[in-house]
Amino acid sequence: MKADEIKPRLREFLLKDLLRNPTYPLTDDEPLITGGLVDSFDLAQIAVFAEREFKIYLPDSDLTVEAMDTLDRMAEQIAHRAGP
């Protein structure tokens, strides 16, 4: 699975279920964790979503600021775990 396929569904989850703000102008490279939009609790929920939606398991070691701070990076991390 490619990051481009993952991004739209991830974006929808973030806006609808996490940020609860469907009209928020979320950009692909916006710093979400360091920017204060997403916290550690949300990371757990993102992992749950990724497991359910993409059938992959994100271990704790993947849930870091470096790996998950932007929509781009989250999608890449998920794609990495999903394989081809």
Which window, 4-12, 46-54, 75-83, contacts another protein (CB under 8 A)?
Answer: 46-54
Angle of CA points 50, 19, 57, to nearest 5°? 10
DSSP 47: H
Work out whether 47 is an interface residue with another protein (CB under 8 A): yes
Question: Binding another protein by CB under 8 A: which of 4, 41, 83, 84?
Answer: 41
**Which stretches of the chain bind another protein, using CB under 8 A?**
20-21, 23-25, 34-45, 47-48, 51-52, 57, 60-61, 63, 65
